[in-house]
Amino acid sequence: MKPQADDPHQLLRDIHRRFAGSGAEAYRTTSETLSFDRLYHASLALAETLARVPDPRCSRPVLIWGHKDPRYLVAYWACLLAGRPLVPAEQDTPAERLRQIVQTCDASVVLVADADPNAPTQLHKTLTGSDVPVWSVDLDAAPAQDLPPHDAAPDDVAYIMFSSGTLGQPKGIQVTYANLADFIRWQDQLLAGASFNGVTGNIRHCFDVSLFELWNSWLRLRPITALNHADFANSTGYIRRLAADQVGLWVSTPSITRLMLRNRRFNGTTLPALSTFLFCGEALTKPVVQSLFDRFPGCRVLNTYGPTECTVAVTAVDITADHLAAPEDLPIGYARPGTALVADPGPDQGEIEIRGASVGRGYLKLPDKQGRAFPAPGCYRTGDRGLRRADGLWYFGGRIDREIKVQGMRVDLDDIEAHIRRQPGIEDAVVEPYMLRGEARALNAYIFGDHTADVLKQLAGQMSRELPPYLVPRFWYAGFEASLNRNSKIDRAWLSEAARTADHRHVHSQPDAETLS
Ligand code: AMP
């Protein structure tokens, strides 16, 4: 569908109206399916009920609690149709954090996207001390007659994503209806040439990369084959479902794909329909793309980059064999239409600033953070370094805040990671400081994949021939698999645990290293 309407609310209604009467499936889990027609009627009915909750300015958010359930889609659409800001919350969010989120955003209602009839009562108990109503989402509610009117404007908030950090006050990132409409129009262009029967449901709804899955399903009336993250280890079962559903569009972080590639059945013979791979959220590495090119001959691989603050992603590029063969890391892409990226040029790579229609409203009730990150309306400072080639192609240069001092020397952890990843046979690596008495005293390197202590030793040796000694990690670990956080990115907080359990390790001794004890 060509998203035509200029008004974001009209655009959403136009997309929604096409669901009516379509018996095609919109969502598939291992136990349930939802047709577009049922999604249409159930969301309309719930929107009507929501519209009766007093909130004249459509400003009090609706929290949607669930994980990969068709009811989540119904709740999502009901909020959009009623013009309310929606807040996704995963079921495994700790109770205290959930209470903080409900309080911080002053939620008007909590919608429970779960088939279990007891779930609302249990959640109500979890939210003790809050008088927020908790409602279940009904897939078979009596169809409403028409869309309820609402007063939400294009610049009102469509959704709030709470960042996945575990410490301190939750950070609510607000994105407006105008931002969302701009993203939807971009999706139509980005995948204009692609044809696919189905879309993966890899990403948790609390992570905005899931919007690639949702909107590409909804724009093209294609089903999502949802991956319940409790089944993550059973990749064979998921591959079987993707094959049966002839899924053609894969959306994920590089980390999810790297785990999936461990399964030899993840290939073009088992999954002949799978032809487009879209990445976002983390640095896409050459070994991942090379494996996809080998296993899915002729497939299209798109790399996209962006922060939640700027509506999912702001750049995109088709990765080619030339990119793989080039000496630099893979590019993150060209700026999407209506959005501009700027960074000071130069060898040190300046911070990427984003301006334009993708830049969201910013943080909920956090004026200090807001002032630092959004120096002017419509302008966001990413904290990422970037380099722009003359033709407008961008390269990611790591996070600015990953620059630390180790024994007085300035060290960029992302730089060292990138250097290790460039070594032959290395899929992915993470470098973190080794802390002693609150001070970074050396570096830990975590190497993913099947590697032995000998490989670690060779890597350390190679690095010490190529880099000054203070940039070579002292402690090397391998023989474990990455644990992923809620956004399906490598969970860096978990790595100290990996160090304790790693099967293989190596200590690189530098001739002039200071003693660490
Ligand atoms: P989030 O807001 O959780 O989506 O995280 C956004 C951050 O993830 C960005 O500011 C980057 O640091 C990183 N990121 C996102 N996409 C990419 C990419 N394609 N390559 C490298 N880093 C990325």
pLDDT at 9: 97
- Report field, pTM of the whole predicted structure over 0.85: yes
pLDDT at 513: 46
Closest CA to 499 of 476, 483, 517: 476
Cβ of 254 closer than 6 Å to ligand 1, yes or no, is no
pLDDT at 515: 39
* CB-based contact 64:74 (threshold 8 Å): no
pLDDT at 499: 83
Higher pLDDT, 97 or 154: 154
Report residue 139's pLDDT band, with 50, 70 and 90 as the boundaries: very high
Rounded to an integer, the average pLDDT of 146-167 is 85
| Distance from residue 249's CA to the centre of ligand 1 (Å) | 21
Q: What is the pLDDT of residues 480-502, one digit of tens each?
A: 877 889 888 999 888 888 888 88
pLDDT at 204: 95
Rounded to an integer, the average pLDDT of 185-204 is 95
pLDDT at 512: 47
pLDDT at 164: 60
Cβ of 399 closer than 6 Å to ligand 1, yes or no, is yes
Q: What is the pLDDT of residues 37-46, one digit of tens each?
A: 999 999 999 9
pLDDT at 144: 75
pLDDT at 345: 77
Superfamily of domain 1-152: ANL, N-terminal domain (3.40.50.12780)
Reading the block at residue 478, the tokens are 């391998």
Kindly list the strands in the beta sheet with 134-136, ordered across the sheet, starting from the edge strand earlier in the chain.
134-136, 109-113, 62-66, 86-89, 157-162, 172-176, 362-363
Cβ of 311 closer than 6 Å to ligand 1, yes or no, is no
Q: Is residue 510 pLDDT above 90, yes or no?
A: no
Closest CA to 114 of 95, 132, 147, 92: 92
Rounded to an integer, the average pLDDT of 441-459 is 93
Lowest mean pLDDT among 22-31, 141-150, 412-421, 508-517: 508-517
Q: Is residue 508 pLDDT above 70, yes or no?
A: yes
Q: Which atom of ligand 1 is nearest to the CA of 164?
A: 3
Helix 8-17, helix 177-190: angle, nearest 10 = 50
pLDDT at 404: 87
Cβ of 281 closer than 6 Å to ligand 1, yes or no, is yes
Helices (H), 250-320: 254-260, 286-295
| Distance from residue 456's CA to the centre of ligand 1 (Å) | 28
Superfamily of domain 407-507: ANL, C-terminal domain (3.30.300.30)
Question: Could you count the other beta carbons within 10 Å of the beta carbon of residue 463?
Answer: 20
pLDDT at 102: 95
Domain ranges of the chain: 1-152, 407-507
The mean predicted confidence, pLDDT, of the chain is: 92
Question: Mutation test of ligand 1: which of 354, 396, 415 has the most ligand atoms closer than 8 Å to its C-beta?
Answer: 396
Q: Is residue 516 pLDDT above 50, yes or no?
A: no
pLDDT at 168: 65
Cβ of 427 closer than 6 Å to ligand 1, yes or no, is no
